[in-house]
Amino acid sequence: MTGAVTHDPPPTTGGGPGKPLIVTEDAELLDDLLRLCAAAGATPEVHHSVPERRGSWESAPLVLVGDDAARRVRGAARRRGVVLVGRDQDDSGVWQRAVEIGADHVLMLPDGEQWLVDRIADVAEGVGRPALTVGVIGGRGGAGASTLACALAVTSAREGLRTLLVDADPLGGGLDVLLGGESTEGLRWPAFAASRGRVGGSALEESLPRLHSLRVLSWDRGDCVAIAPQAVRAVLAAARRRGGTVVVDLPRRIDDGVAEILAQLDLGLLVVPAELRAVAAGKRVASAVGMVLRDLRVAVRGPYAPGLDDSEVARLLGLPLAGEVPVESALLRPDGGKAPPGATVRGPLARFCKEFWERALTEGGGS
C-alpha cells in the first residue's frame, strides 16, 4: 500500500544520480529496504537517526524513514522526497507521524515494493527531462518511413544528442540491416519479450548495438514477431527516461503493442507519397493512429502527381504539414549507397532532418 500526504510527490533528480538515505534501526525493515535498493541498482546511505554529517539529510534525493525512526527525525529540517515506510497496515497513527516529519508518502511493505523500487531507480538513474519521442509511419507500403526514421536518428546522433532508434515493425527486415549493422553484437527485441515492471534505462542502452553513434533496438532473424504490450511499454519507458531523442519506425497495423508505443510518442510523422492512392491509404492510417496519438503530422514525398503539392496532400489528409521529404540520390542506387540514410551531412535528407529536429526540440523545450 502507498498513500500520499498533503505534500508534493518525491522529486526526480534533474542532474546526475544520487544515493537514497535510509533511516531505521529495524533490522528486518533495513534488510528489505537494502534488497529493494539493490533491485533498483542503487547503493544507499544508512543511519539510525538524522545523520550528524551536515547536508546529508538535506541533499539526499530520496529519504526512506522507517516507522520506528519517525520520532527520532521529528525535528529534522523539512524537505521534499521523504517516504515513511512501515509494515502495520492497520496502524492509523502512521499518518499522523508522517505529517509530523513532513513525509510526502506513507508506504507499507510488502504491498508497496514495486512503487518503491521505481522511485529508487529514478534516483539511481538521475532521471531528468524525458526523451523527445518521434514515431514514423508510412501512409502506404514503400512510402519510405524506415528510411526517414533512420535518417532522423542518424542526424540526431550527429548533433550530439543521446539517440535510440527503435524498430517496431517485426516484418520490416530490420533497421540494423538498413544501417549496415546486422552482425553487430547486442540485444534485439526477443531478449526483452519477458520484461515486466521497470526496465533500467542505463542497462537497456548499454545492451543494444551501437551503430553510427546511436543505439538501435531491432529484430533478430528468428521466428519471434510479437512482443507482449507490457514489455513494449516497459522498454520504451526506459528508453525515454534516458533523455535525448527516441525515433520509432512504426508498422502500418495497430495492435496492442503498437498502441503502447503510440501512447508514449510526443509526435508522429506520416510519410505519404504525393499520389492519390497513397493519400487515400494514408487517410486510413491517419484515422487509426489519430485515435491514440494527438500530434500527427504529414511528411510528403515526391514526385508529385498532377494537381498535387505538399500543401494539398496535407489538406486532403487534414493534418499539419511537417514538410517535403527530399530524395537522396545515393539511396536510389542498386546497393543503396555505402552510407546510411541521412549520413551525407550536406545532402537534402540530412538538411530536412536537421531542420525538423530544430523545430521539434524548440517546440518541446528540449535540447
pLDDT at 127: 62
pLDDT at 337: 54
Which CATH superfamily groups domain 20-125?
Response regulator (3.40.50.2300)
Q: Tell me the pLDDT tens digit for each residue of 152-172.
A: 999 999 999 999 999 999 988
- Residue matched to cell numbers 508522429: 268
How sure is the predictor about 230, in pLDDT bands with cuts at 50, 70 and 90? Answer: very high
pLDDT at 17: 56
pLDDT at 9: 40
4 pLDDT higher than 70? no
Q: List the domain boundaries for the chain.
A: 20-125, 132-364
Cα–Cα–Cα angle for 279, 298, 359, nearest 5°? 165
20-125 with 132-364: one CATH topology? yes
- Strands (E) in 33-167, as ranges, are 45-47, 63-66, 82-86, 105-108, 132-138, 163-167
C-alpha cell at 234: 516497459
Least-confidence region, from 20-24, 27-31, 36-40, 124-128: 124-128
Considering the domain 132-364 in this protein, what is its CATH number?
3.40.50.300
Q: Tell me the pLDDT tens digit for each residue of 185-220.
A: 999 999 998 887 778 888 889 999 999 999 999 998
How sure is the predictor about 224, in pLDDT bands with cuts at 50, 70 and 90? Answer: confident
By three-state DSSP, how is residue 58 classified? helix
C-alpha cell at 98: 508522517
Q: Tell me the pLDDT tens digit for each residue of 308-345.
A: 999 999 999 999 999 999 987 666 555 555 688 999 89
What's the average model confidence in pLDDT over 71-76? 94
Rounded Cα distance between 37 and 343, Å, is 42
13 pLDDT higher than 60? no
pLDDT at 89: 86
C-alpha cell at 197: 515492471
Residue 175 near residue 153, CB atoms below 8 Å: no
Please give the span between the terminal C-alpha atoms of the chain, in angstroms, as a whole number: 38
